[in-house]
Amino acid sequence: MPDSLARGLRRAGWLAGLPALALVWASATLYAAPRIAERLEAEGAAVAAGTATETGEPWLRLTVQGRDLVAAGEAPDAGARAATLFRLAVLEGPRRIVSGVGLVETATPFAWAAIRLGPGRVALEGSRPVEIGRRALEARITGALGPGTSLDDTARAARGAPPDFPSAAAFLAARLSGLAAGGRAALSDTVLSLSGEAVDVPAYEALRAALSEPPAGFSLGRVEILPPRVAQYRFTVEKKASGIVLDGFIPSAADKRAAQEAAQEAAQETAGAAVDDRLVTARGLDPAIDPKGLIAFAFRLAALIQTGRVTFADGAVSVSGDAIDGQAIPDAEALMRDGRPGGVAAGRISLTARPLSPYRVAIRRTPEAVTLTGHVPDVATRERVLDALRPRLFREPILDRTRLADGAPPDLGAALAAAAPLVADLAAGEASVSDRTLTLTGESLYREVAARAPDRLAEALPPGWTGQAAVSARQPAERRDPATCRADFAAALAGADLRFPAGSAVPDPAFYPVLDTLAALAKACPGLRIAVSGPADPAKAAPTPAAGPGEGAHPAAPPEPEPTRIASAAKAAATGKADAKPSGKHDKAEARPDPKGSGKGSTKDAAKRGNPAPQKKPEAAAEEPPQDLPRLRAQAVVEYLLQAGARADQVSVLTDQAPAGAVTFALLP
């Protein structure tokens, strides 16, 4: 051996043998370790097989880590656990036994969950029924998830599972396949919950459809499924002759309901229009844009077109189609300029004004308001219709949403003015005009008004117009027994204080709610007989005139009578010359003042003509109110009840005069 090599080896000493020793150790490990692991697995499997339960599966699960045996599972009791661990301990091969063996307990609540970890990987945690083998349950879940899915199952066997747990677990696992990583499907006793983000739009719709029918015996708890995110968010409102089409995306179910409600309201403006909802829930709208504000803005633009489309795409709103009239084009430009929601850009406006065909306008009555929609040729026509409505409405506001447009049929103003009283007589309904055809539809509180509607419409329409009336009457929901009828009669009059204005036989508007209630009661109680007694006016004491110079004191003068014109107005109102007869919706009677100049300056003019001035008529000689004023008042109340739907044999006038004050009612046997 060369001297230099020998000297090097002497300096290295025993370190020179380490590489050879490492090589020997590695060779032994690679050769012997697998054989040791195989032997440990075989010995452990024999012990695990001895822990088989009624399900046919052992509760003990063993894994080998080098020369260590790791034990897991849930023993049925402490004795079984101790015996099993002892059998593992006496094996010759293992270096040590790492125990994670627990005991089967009762889980309250019984909770189980499946979490998607990523593509093809799902983790199971919580509790599983001890009555079901682990491998059997995993096979059921894997079948619902799809082939190729690996399970990381850490669920522990426990008692207290709800009935038909496997079906609920499989149902949740199937829903989990539509969620992205992080999605969670869980069960707590019989309550199912689901959370996560849908992988795409079809999966989102399928999830919502499937969750509408949970397994029998189970209910839905917290469901928080985020819609998928789309790269190109769009929203469209399209108006067609057949109706309104909603298309594109919507961020949430609440926003979808808002769009549907707006579409239904817009569709009501056109008879027979339908709503075709094709919206799909998805994310992707700029967070700076309010979804409901965008929806409202789109429908404000859509209200300006007959047919066409309002589209939101690439952050901008555009509108195209046929405008409802020439005024709509500058209105759309102004709305696009000043009314856009924050974050929304202005797109293209491509509108064409075409002649209106057909020419439409409608008067619609609801319990909340009376609304005019459509088109009128000029302001004068609009005011004519409003003037025909105002005197007949006391509580309901009148909303004018008409627009001006050319092309109206002849006599449109006359036709609408004639239809206004008919609409006012309805509880709900409308009069709609399409060119020279007027259609009256709705519901009346009274059978008589409903029966007369076709004839009244035919008489009121101008020449050349055609009309159709379909008015139904509300019928009482039930017939009440006599005792209930009398009790309801007393309740209807409790606190009622119906007093006529002095000298008048015209019912005050405050009478209407009480009289309507009595009329409805008469229709529900055919055997009810109501008698009405009208009151007289209270007597008034006239002031004592002061004694003039050289005159002694005079006795008190008799009570001063009401002025002649009031008595005349009362008699005229009761006989029908004044507008005292109430309509189905209570026409308002207005007191008209005496003509101007009826007495002013007459004495002075007579003196100029050389005629002596007329002597002042003594107050005692003034005309008295009509002696039959109480009877006229009672007749006015009876007439109202008859028009409101009571039968002629159900109401009558009492011959006895009621004391001064309020109208009195009585039930006849």
Domain membership flag for residue 364 = yes
Examine residue 421 and say whether the peptide bond preceding it is cis (omega within 30 degrees of 0): no
106-134 per-position pLDDT tens digit: 888 999 999 999 888 999 999 989 888 88
323-332 per-position pLDDT tens digit: 988 889 999 9
The mean of the pLDDT values for the chain is: 81
* SS3 labels along 438-471: EEEEEEECCHHHHHHHHHHHHHHCCCCCEEEEEE
Examine the domain organization and report whether 118 and 219 are in the same domain: yes
Examine the domain organization and report whether 425 and 483 are in the same domain: no
Domain membership flag for residue 596 = no
CB 64 within 8 A of CB 97: no
Q: What is the phi/psi pair of residue 307, to 5°? A: -135, 145
Reported confidence tier of residue 433, pLDDT bands at 50, 70, 90: very high
Copy the structure tokens of residue 534. 């009208």
CB 239 within 8 A of CB 273: no
Name the packing angle between helices 78-89 and 18-49 (round to 10°).
Answer: 140
Sign of CA dihedral 57, 63, 68, 73: negative
Total domains in the chain come to 5
Domain membership flag for residue 553 = no
Beta bridge pairs of residue 468: 439
Number of H helices, E strands in the chain: 17, 26
N-to-C CA span, the chain:
147
Three-class secondary structure of residue 38 per DSSP: helix
Examine the domain organization and report whether 209 and 143 are in the same domain: yes
| Spatial separation of the C-alpha atoms in residues 272 and 243, rounded to whole Å | 8
Range of the domain at 197: 106-226
Place of tokens 């696992």: 173
User: How far from the centroid of its chain's Cα atoms is residue 285's Cα?
Assistant: 24
Task: Classify strands 68-75 and 96-103 as parallel, antiparallel or unpaired.
Answer: parallel
Mean pLDDT lowest for which of 62-66, 439-443, 453-457, 501-505? 62-66
Number of other CB atoms surrounding residue 460 within 10 Å? 19
| Spatial separation of the C-alpha atoms in residues 447 and 522, rounded to whole Å | 13
Task: Give the H or E element holding residue 389.
Answer: helix 379-389
- Give the pLDDT confidence score for residue 582 in this predicted structure: 39
- Best CA proximity match to 422, nearest among 396, 452, 379: 452
Domain of 517, CATH number, reads 3.30.1330.60
In terms of DSSP H, where are the helices of 525-583? 564-575
Examine the domain organization and report whether 578 and 651 are in the same domain: yes
Is 275 a residue whose pLDDT tops 90? yes
Copy the structure tokens of residue 214. 């949970």
Reported confidence tier of residue 449, pLDDT bands at 50, 70, 90: confident
Domain of 459, CATH number, reads 3.40.1520.20
| Spatial separation of the C-alpha atoms in residues 535 and 576, rounded to whole Å | 20
* Highest mean predicted confidence (pLDDT) among 21-25, 384-388, 606-610: 384-388
- Best CA proximity match to 159, nearest among 206, 197, 104, 118: 104
User: How far from the centroid of its chain's Cα atoms is residue 462's Cα?
Assistant: 41
Place of tokens 């419409």: 457
Amino acid at residue number 257: R
570-582 per-position pLDDT tens digit: 333 334 333 333 3
Is 506 a residue whose pLDDT tops 50? yes
Examine the domain organization and report whether 243 and 329 are in the same domain: yes
- Give the pLDDT confidence score for residue 571 in this predicted structure: 38
Mean pLDDT of 140-152: 86
Is 486 a residue whose pLDDT tops 60? yes
Q: Nearest 5 degrees, angle CA 566-CA 571-CA 576?
A: 125
Domain of 91, CATH number, reads 3.30.1340
Strand-by-strand arrangement of the 68-75 sheet: 60-65, 68-75, 96-103
Examine the domain organization and report whether 328 and 400 are in the same domain: no
- Give the pLDDT confidence score for residue 385 in this predicted structure: 95
Examine the domain organization and report whether 97 and 46 are in the same domain: yes
Examine the domain organization and report whether 652 and 514 are in the same domain: yes
DSSP 524-536: H-TT--EEEEPBP
Examine the domain organization and report whether 122 and 162 are in the same domain: yes
CB 580 within 8 A of CB 636: yes
Cα separation values, 373 from 265, 367, 380, Å: 12, 17, 16
Domain boundary residue, one of 103, 136, 168:
103
Examine the domain organization and report whether 209 and 340 are in the same domain: no
In the DSSP assignment, the letter for residue 198 is: B
Examine the domain organization and report whether 242 and 323 are in the same domain: yes
CB 505 within 8 A of CB 663: no
Three-class secondary structure of residue 490 per DSSP: helix
Domain membership flag for residue 60 = yes
Task: Classify strands 305-313 and 360-365 as parallel, antiparallel or unpaired.
Answer: unpaired
215-247 per-position pLDDT tens digit: 999 999 999 999 999 989 999 999 998 899 999
CA atoms within 13 A on the CB side of 22: 5
CB 64 within 8 A of CB 41: yes
Domain membership flag for residue 16 = no
User: Residue 614: left (phi > 0), alpha (psi -120 to 50), or beta?
Assistant: beta
Higher-confidence residue: 602 or 59?
59
Is 205 a residue whose pLDDT tops 80? yes
Domain boundary residue, one of 438, 456, 473:
473
Task: Give the H or E element holding residue 422.
Answer: helix 412-424
Domain boundary residue, one of 203, 226, 249:
226
- Best CA proximity match to 413, nearest among 363, 358, 355, 357: 363
Higher-confidence residue: 148 or 142?
142
Examine the domain organization and report whether 371 and 509 are in the same domain: no
- Give the pLDDT confidence score for residue 10 in this predicted structure: 61
Examine residue 409 and say whether the peptide bond preceding it is cis (omega within 30 degrees of 0): no
Domain membership flag for residue 388 = yes
Extended beta strands in 474-625, E state: 530-533
Domain membership flag for residue 173 = yes
Task: Give the H or E element holding residue 274.
Answer: strand 274-281
CB 262 within 8 A of CB 250: no
Domain membership flag for residue 610 = no
- Give the pLDDT confidence score for residue 239 in this predicted structure: 93
